[in-house]
Chains A and B, each alone.
Chain A
């Protein structure tokens, strides 16, 4: 329903917008956070100017938009968001900015993880992925997607900030290929002149992602499946876990907004001791003191810093999406090998 309105208005406004764009003028794109911004600039290359609302190294869960952000949005030709309730503040901001242009929800069409029945679901998914490969995938995605849309509408009425779905979908390279596809569609709508280039860029980038996926899968495969257990501050790696068959445990929930309580922390420590988990990791956006505390109480040592919801500055090792995935896998593999 929402999508229909969005796409029909998008077509009309896309046409008017592109008519007013000068021949050399670049397309102004707003992306909600740095990882999406990187994907947009990969697809748009020299034809787009990308602005990230939540900057590099900041936490999108608890972002407070400023009037500047609203101004930037009202001047933009394309807004790219992650969706899945990740940016709870975004609908209000778009309303406040009176933005009526094209909106791309990058996660449209991905295979969503529901956090409520997380455990059974995850196990099922593992098997599916390892056994069937990619063929069956599309049908399932389609079904899940429709389910999810109903879900989303329902939740919007209740006003939840984070829904029952895990929004951190970009940690699955499979999903990011769909992200790239969605972004390319959006750019082609807004700027039909460079249609073929966007198409070409997207195809090139997806090829790179294919290679990356293959490489990372072999890297992870060097660790025995039973030993692939790690702890992170907040539950950001559900999709990563599903793709690479690694078990992630976290004292905070899927959002950094949640407050940890003693029962959960104690349960986690017991689990680490019992299952002999080797490594805990800190994140670039989270409060890491709790993780340090947990490391002190168990034999698990701090294996390094993982990049979860934001890229790093260009002088650090995770300045682009591909670098981020490579860095995370390198860090995890190095910590688990010892």
Chain B
């Protein structure tokens, strides 16, 4: 019995290093991306994550064209492109009449168009699509080191920004009037979003990385009212989904990144129905 369970649940990871690496990548990403996702949802900026993921594209594409499938080049390119879009959108929003969402939408669409242009004008795309849709199973040493560094930096930075960010979530207008930290908190936070998306796109691909950031936060919202509780629940749901996604990918021959995000999606639907905080079942009873 125990050997059967071992065969089923542990053996894939014990036997194959690529499974260990994939799991490591997902766990590290969960540590850094889920708290960022929680703050994003609390600030009603869930779709900002998606927009930023698209904004990264031209940077990654340029990095790819300059030095091939180099983790460093694509990371630097992605971070630069993401920061430029975030800064421009933020500045336009702060210094003009335009709302932040519309300016962000404008800049990310521009960025996305530039990215597609760069990719297609290079003639052909030697599986850049794989880069965009993720290669969880092909995480090499460089990528893992990079993921870990980004996770460390991101977690530390979030610890420093924690207080101002909470203030910003609770009452951004009040915070803006009483403290000069508001701008720092805002831009610092956007930088963290970009960092985590770039890390995520090495592990899951640009589009799926947003899933690992936002879905755990959305799940956590149904189970806890407290920030600490939400952060914990988000982290654990991301790790569990990462494991289950890899497990499914191994036993049921499914592509890895979508499998992980779909497990998250199922958890979300379960939470939506049975969640203690505003889930459908409990809402109707009370």
Interface residues of A (CB under 8 A from B): 54-55, 57-60, 62-64, 66, 256-257, 259-266, 269, 285-290, 292-294, 296-297
Contacts and interface: CB of A to CB of B under 8 A. Distances in A.
B127 A266 contact: no
A125 B93 CA distance: 68
Nearest to B133: A259
Contact of A289 (B15, B123, B135, B246): B135
20 contacts: A58-B124, A66-B121, A260-B137, A260-B255, A261-B253, A262-B12, A262-B18, A262-B250, A262-B256, A263-B251, A265-B16, A265-B18, A266-B250, A269-B16, A287-B131, A289-B69, A289-B135, A289-B138, A293-B18, A297-B18
Contacts of A266: 12, 15-16, 19, 250
Given A62-B124, A289-B69, 6 more contacts: A55-B123, A59-B124, A62-B125, A64-B125, A261-B137, A289-B138
B81 to A, nearest CB: 21
Majority SS at the chain B contact face: helix
Given A259-B255, A262-B137, A287-B135, A66 B120 contact: yes
Contacts of B129: 62, 257
Contact of A262 (B130, B139, B249): B249
A264 to B, nearest CB: 6
B156 interface: no
Contacts of A59: 124-127
A263 B4 CA distance: 18
Contacts of B253: 261-264
Contacts of A293: 17-18, 21, 137-140
Contact of B69 (A55, A265, A287, A297): A287
B250 A290 contact: no
A8 B255 CA distance: 46
A54 B123 CA distance: 7
Contacts, number: 98
B66 interface: no
Contact of A297 (B16, B124, B135): B16
A313 to B, nearest CB: 13
A131 B138 CA distance: 42
Nearest to A288: B69
Interface in B1-33: 12, 15-19, 21-22
Interface of B: 12, 15-19, 21-22, 69, 120-121, 123-127, 129-131, 133, 135, 137-140, 246, 249-256
A261 B140 contact: no
A286 B15 CA distance: 26
Contact of A287 (B12, B138, B252): B138
Which 4 pairs show the lowest CB-CB distances between chains A and B? A58-B124, A289-B138, A262-B249, A263-B253
A285 B255 CA distance: 21
B243 to A, nearest CB: 12
Contacts of A264: 253
Contacts of B17: 293, 296-297
Contacts of A262: 12, 18-19, 22, 137, 246, 249-250, 253, 256
Contact of B249 (A58, A263, A269, A290): A263
B70 to A, nearest CB: 11
B254 A261 contact: yes
Contacts of A289: 69, 135, 138, 140
Most-contacted residue by chain A among B121, B126, B131, B254 (CB, 10 A): B126
Contacts of B124: 54-55, 58-60, 62-64
A271 to B, nearest CB: 13
B16 A290 contact: no
A138 B115 CA distance: 50
A62 B125 CA distance: 7
Nearest to B19: A262
A35 to B, nearest CB: 15
Contacts of A257: 129
B126 A58 contact: yes
A159 B88 CA distance: 43
A59 B124 CA distance: 7
Most-contacted residue by chain B among A54, A63, A259, A264 (CB, 10 A): A259
B127 to A, nearest CB: 5
Contacts of A260: 137-138, 255
Nearest to B131: A287
